Chains A and B, each alone.
Chain A
Amino acid sequence: MPTVAELTEPYGNFMLGPVRGPRVCDVCMTFTDGYPRCYACARTPRALDALAPISYSVATGQLHHVLAAYKRRNGRVGRLLSTQLAAVLWRFLSGHEACLARAAGVASFDFVATVPSGAGERDERHPLHRIVSEMVAPTRDRHRRLLDRSAIPVAPHEFDRRRYNVTGHVPGAAVLVIDDTWTTGSNVQSAATVLKEAGAQTVAAVVIGRHLNREWGRNEQRLRALDRPFDWTRCAYCAPASGDPAGLPGEDAGYEPPCSS
């Protein structure tokens, strides 16, 4: 049986640890032109108390491809990719779930839920559901089916609280939501909103990939500045605060991290 460490080790060659700081969105950690919040997060109601993307996922890169392919492929390869992503989630949570909880202002999370997949697919059959509810030891005992996709048609990639129904009992609970990819955040923020409306006290999220396009703005340059081996001992919430972690030399610093408790 493979160990979590040996399955995740090769991923360190293409994962890029997210950073916080100036010109980085304070919600989703994408790069901005200098605003504290990216366009998508600025116009999306924010119900999430904290978000930890495990890695940036660059369009056409290997992580991006795995995050698309693990859902598309059946059979041996689909199972293999699911096992690898389960190991990534396991290793990250065992090292940094406490950092995220601290950033969200709680001691720990009571429940773990996955964001239901797009219409037409049943949630139970979705490989992410299986990863979180069966394969990852740090989540499987706390996994609850708290969200259901509603029958109401909503625009994709747009925040819409009608997208999900809460199916579990959450009043007063601290909930950790898990999704594979964050692009605009519309799914996770919609899910967090209905969980809060149902009484959840705290909702934080872990996503495996924070999607980025190399071509957008100065992303190419900023990604190149980040190009170093992935460090499993650090996350965005426990990395030492630096003047400009996104690495644009010669520009202003003087930034206060929002969740440096």
Chain B
Amino acid sequence: MTPTLERAALVTLLKTATRPWQILADAIEARASALAVLEEERGLLAHDGLDDAAAAIAAWQRSGITLLTVLDPEYPENLRTVHDRPPLIFIAGSLRPTDARSVAVVGTRAASPEGLARARRLTEHLVGNGFTVISGLAAGIDTQAHTTALRCGGRTAAVLGTGVRRSYPRENANLQRRIARDGAVVSQFWPDSPPTATSFVRRNATMSGLATGTVVVEASHTSGARAQARLALQHGRPVFLPGSLLEQPWAREFADRPGAHVVRAPEEIIATIERLNSPGALVP
């Protein structure tokens, strides 16, 4: 873990951010130091408030919340490689290095029985093959993905649009506790943050970044899952659309984009992800 002073400097930079988060993340990673960036911004006043930030980090830790910054080697590697990665994330529960082998399973809150069944079968297949299933703790498809993963004894991570101390929707507070116990609840927002107009889309970017690919199980054109599919392509990550989703005009248009894959079976998803994530040799 990075020295306390560096973590405190990063928290201080974000608490009093004068620049967009992403610009700060770039500057911090380029210098491999948040303190150096803070000193550039504030000069001699840089060290004011660092004790408060260090105390806040210690208090989060005591309440079971882990802070990971882009300077920490434990920061998720998949997330590190997307341009809009958050400079820090909070975790209730624990993320493991093996959670890098993961797929985001997302979809509508107003799920049909077929959509729910598809989410269940897909999740069973993914966790059965050692994948961590990532979703957004919303009602409908997300809830089905998380509960199926837990039921099968697999790994699951929920990425929130609020702080990790909040539950949204409230009905999923109990599910959130179970995920924190057996998997990871992840948020880029301060632990007590309420949802805001933009927080769910920003959360979708983080969810896409954590996963090696995104599967949209069932979604209308207004769904947040569609927003995540768009963000995943912007990250250069594959997006998988079940054939049945092509009933939706947006999905038919989307399926033509580079990086979008129409799939008939979960095996195709795993095969594609394994191929895209095997570094080294290339064939024409």
Give A residues with C-beta under 8 Å from B. 1-4, 6-7, 9-14, 60-62, 64-66, 68-69, 72-73, 75-77, 79-84, 86-87, 90, 94, 135-137, 229-230
Q: Are B259 and A10 in contact (CB under 8 A)?
A: yes
- CB-defined contacts of B234 to chain A, threshold 8 Å: 13-14, 62
- Contact digits for B271-284, partner A, Cβ 8 Å, 1 yes 0 no: 00001111111111
Please measure, in the bound complex, the distance between the C-alpha atom of A81 and the C-alpha atom of B282, giving whole angstroms: 13
Of B30, B236, B238, which contacts A84 at CB under 8 A? B236
- CB-defined contacts of B275 to chain A, threshold 8 Å: 1-2, 6
Of A9, A81, A83, which contacts B259 at CB under 8 A? A9
Q: Look across to chain B and name the residue whose beta carbon is closest to the beta carbon of A13.
A: B233
Given A1-B281, A60-B23, A62-B234, A229-B258 contact (CB < 8 Å): yes
Q: Total A-B residue pairs with C-beta atoms closer than 8 Å?
A: 99
Please measure, in the bound complex, the distance between the C-alpha atom of A229 and the C-alpha atom of B256, giving whole angstroms: 11
Q: Are A61 and B282 in contact (CB under 8 A)?
A: no
Of B23, B81, B257, B276, which contacts A81 at CB under 8 A? B81
Please measure, in the bound complex, the distance between the C-alpha atom of A11 and the C-alpha atom of B276, giving whole angstroms: 13
Q: Are A65 and B237 in contact (CB under 8 A)?
A: no
Given A10-B237, A229-B258, A4-B77 contact (CB < 8 Å): no
Nearest-CB distance from A31 to chain B (Å)? 21
5 contacts between A and B (CB under 8 A): A1-B278, A10-B238, A11-B236, A73-B80, A83-B279
Of B20, B80, B276, which contacts A2 at CB under 8 A? B276
Q: Are A13 and B258 in contact (CB under 8 A)?
A: yes
Q: Is the CB of B22 closer than 8 A to any CB of chain A?
A: yes
- CB-defined contacts of B281 to chain A, threshold 8 Å: 1, 135
Query: Besides A10-B259, A68-B29, A80-B279, 17 other CB < 8 A contacts?
Result: A1-B275, A2-B283, A4-B283, A7-B282, A9-B259, A10-B238, A11-B258, A65-B82, A73-B77, A76-B77, A76-B279, A79-B279, A81-B81, A83-B282, A86-B282, A137-B284, A229-B257
- CB-defined contacts of A10 to chain B, threshold 8 Å: 233, 236-238, 258-259
Within 8 A of A (CB), among B145-196: none
Q: Is the CB of B252 closer than 8 A to any CB of chain A?
A: no
Q: How many residues of B contact A (CB 8 A)?
A: 32
Within 8 A of A (CB), among B195-237: 233-237
Q: Are B280 and A83 in contact (CB under 8 A)?
A: yes
Q: Are A62 and B259 in contact (CB under 8 A)?
A: no
Q: Are A9 and B258 in contact (CB under 8 A)?
A: yes
Please measure, in the bound complex, the distance between the C-alpha atom of A9 and the C-alpha atom of B276, giving whole angstroms: 11
Q: Is the CB of B264 closer than 8 A to any CB of chain A?
A: no
Most buried by B among A4, A65, A135: A65
- CB-defined contacts of A84 to chain B, threshold 8 Å: 236
Of B26, B257, B276, which contacts A6 at CB under 8 A? B276
Given A68-B30, A69-B81, A62-B236 contact (CB < 8 Å): yes
Most buried by A among B30, B77, B278, B284: B284
Nearest-CB distance from B65 to chain A (Å)? 26
Q: Is the CB of B83 closer than 8 A to any CB of chain A?
A: yes
Sorted from nearest, which 10 A-B pairs have the closest CB atoms? A10-B259, A79-B279, A65-B83, A12-B258, A10-B236, A9-B258, A80-B279, A13-B233, A62-B83, A83-B279
Q: Are A12 and B83 in contact (CB under 8 A)?
A: no
- CB-defined contacts of A1 to chain B, threshold 8 Å: 275, 278, 281-283
Given A1-B281, A4-B284, A69-B80 contact (CB < 8 Å): yes
Q: Are A62 and B282 in contact (CB under 8 A)?
A: no
Nearest-CB distance from A161 to chain B (Å)? 27
- CB-defined contacts of B81 to chain A, threshold 8 Å: 65-66, 69, 73, 77, 80-81
Q: Are B258 and A79 in contact (CB under 8 A)?
A: no
- CB-defined contacts of A68 to chain B, threshold 8 Å: 26, 29-30
Please measure, in the bound complex, the distance between the C-alpha atom of A13 and the C-alpha atom of B258, giving whole angstroms: 7
Please measure, in the bound complex, the distance between the C-alpha atom of A14 and the C-alpha atom of B233, giving whole angstroms: 8
Q: Are A90 and B259 in contact (CB under 8 A)?
A: no
Q: Are B279 and A7 in contact (CB under 8 A)?
A: no
Q: Look across to chain A and name the residue whose beta carbon is closest to the beta carbon of B239.
A: A10
Please measure, in the bound complex, the distance between the C-alpha atom of A9 and the C-alpha atom of B259, giving whole angstroms: 6
- CB-defined contacts of A80 to chain B, threshold 8 Å: 81, 277, 279
Most buried by A among B23, B277, B280: B280
Please measure, in the bound complex, the distance between the C-alpha atom of A86 and the C-alpha atom of B282, giving whole angstroms: 8
- CB-defined contacts of B257 to chain A, threshold 8 Å: 13, 229
Q: Are B22 and A87 in contact (CB under 8 A)?
A: no
- CB-defined contacts of B82 to chain A, threshold 8 Å: 62, 65
Given A12-B259, A60-B26, A229-B257, A3-B283 contact (CB < 8 Å): yes
Most buried by A among B81, B100, B236, B284: B236
